[in-house]
Amino acid sequence: MAAPTTLPSALADATRDESSLRRFLHGLPGVDQVGVEQRAAGLGTRSIKKASKLHAIDLAISMVDLTTLEGADTHGKVRSLAAKAKRPDPDRPDVPKVAAVCVYPDMVKTAADDLVGTGINVASVATAFPSGRSTMDIKLADTRFAVEQGASEVDMVIDRGAFLSGRYGQVFEEIVKIKEACGDAHLKVILETGELVTYDNVRRASWLALLAGGDFIKTSTGKVQPAATLPVTHVMLQAVRDWKDQTGELRGVKPAGGIRTTKDAIKYLVAVHEVAGPEWLDPNLFRFGASTLLNDLLMQRRTQLDGHYSGPDYVTVD
């Protein structure tokens, strides 16, 4: 097992072999469930108004990974998603574009062709998404295919079965190999926190993914309930903050699934601001994996500027 980047010695030691990794992960401070949920609920009462709200809405729009991950996806649907990504609100050209479009590997080329030169990233799920239940060869092939097709970001899933049965080394190796296969593409590691269940597991999986070189840690596939929650995101934001304190490196966090309203999105941004720190308020370091959130952000943005509510018919459905 080799650490992919040059790490401080304490962290490099953690990745020396399977038992060191286990000792390190189990030596992390625990997470008190009551405490972290209380803190998340407390921060959730922040009241963001006026200019700070408008700023938050624009920031949130620029952090959206506009996503479609359905069996029923078509090239046409992906093309209209790409159009929406470029100009989220066609009547208002000043609305920022989203951060990325997130699709299955076979749709990557369609999205990439439409987004050439826009600065919008194409993210592809890979590694036998969403379950991760396949062989390593297939997962690697899946990843290489997505990158060849033009994906600049890869959202991989970890093997939760291996993680829960304590085979941390296996999970680590998989992430390292997928990272290699990504080449220059950014790697987001989906922990699927809904299946990890405890906050202690979320913290360990976050550190495991960071040690293995993941550029982002991501909560969920969106296919398992519960998907992203505020307290889980708190634990992950704390992990990237601690990572920065120890290594100086900035890594990102992406909550995905279940964030549908502007109000929710702002609660997440407040958590980013106050738990990780203001430098994470950047699309390179924080993303929302969402599909319906964007339209609510657009409607709230109009409300802020026009002084009254419009309605869902004034934003485009795809």
Partner 1 sequence: MWEYAPAPESRDIANLKPSYKMFVDGKFVEGTGEPLKTINPATEEVLAEVSTASQSDVDIAVKAARRAYDRVWSKMPGSERAKYIYRIARQIQERGRELAVLESLDNGKPIKESRDVDVPTAASHFFYHAGWADKLGYAGYGPDPKPLGVAGQVIPWNFPLLMAAWKIAPALACGNTVVLKPAETTPLTALVLADIIQQCDLPPGVVNIIPGAGDVGAALVGHADVDKVAFTGSTDVGKVIQGQLAGTSKKLTLELGGKAANIVFDDAPLDQAVEGIVNGIFFNQGHVCCAGSRLLVQESIADELVEKLHARVSTLRVGDPLDKNTDVGAINSREQLAKIKELTESAEAEGATRWTSSCPLPDKGFFFAPTVFSGVSQAMRIAREEIFGPVLSVLTFRTPEEAVAKANNTPYGLSAGVWTEKGSRILWMAQRMRAGVVWSNTFNRFDPTAPFGGYQESGFGREGGRTGLEAYLDV
Which among 18, 16, 114, 135 has a CA at the least distance from the CA of 66? Answer: 114
Tokens representing 306 are: 């026009």
CA separation, residue 173 to residues 10, 144, 156, 168, 180 (Å): 19, 17, 13, 9, 11
Q: Is 155 assigned a catalytic role? A: yes
Q: How far is the CB of 249 from partner 1 (least distance, A)?
A: 18
Spatial CB neighbours of 156, under 8 Å, sequence gap ≥ 6: 125, 126, 127, 129, 139, 143, 175, 178, 187, 188, 189, 190
Please tell me whether residue 250 binds partner 1 under the rule CB under 8 A: no
d(CA 227, CA 218): 10
Q: Which stretch binds partner 1 (CB under 8 A): 44-52, 82-90, 158-166, 172-180?
A: 44-52
Please tell me whether residue 47 binds partner 1 under the rule CB under 8 A: yes
Please tell me whether residue 226 binds partner 1 under the rule CB under 8 A: no
Run of H or E residues at 200: helix 199-211
Q: How far is the CB of 8 from partner 1 (least distance, A)?
A: 14
Q: Which of 65, 142, 155, 200 is catalytic?
A: 155
Q: Is 254 assigned a catalytic role? A: yes
Q: How far is the CB of 300 from partner 1 (least distance, A)?
A: 15
Please tell me whether residue 30 binds partner 1 under the rule CB under 8 A: yes
Please tell me whether residue 311 binds partner 1 under the rule CB under 8 A: no
Out of 2, 51, 116, 317, the residue judged to bind partner 1 by CB under 8 A: 51
Q: Which of 97, 109, 218, 267 is catalytic?
A: 218
Q: Is 245 assigned a catalytic role? A: no
Please tell me whether residue 122 binds partner 1 under the rule CB under 8 A: no
d(CA 288, CA 67): 10
Mutual angle of helices 136-149 and 168-182, in 10-degree steps: 30
Q: Are 290 and 256 in contact (CB under 8 A)?
A: yes
- Closest CB to partner 1 among 49 and 308? 49
Window 52 to 71, contacts with partner 1 (CB under 8 A): 52-53, 55-56, 59
Please tell me whether residue 39 binds partner 1 under the rule CB under 8 A: yes
Q: Are 99 and 62 in contact (CB under 8 A)?
A: yes
Catalytic residues: 155, 218, 254
Q: Which residues bind partner 1 (CB under 8 A)?
A: 29-32, 34-36, 38-39, 45-53, 55-56, 59, 238, 269, 273-274, 278, 281
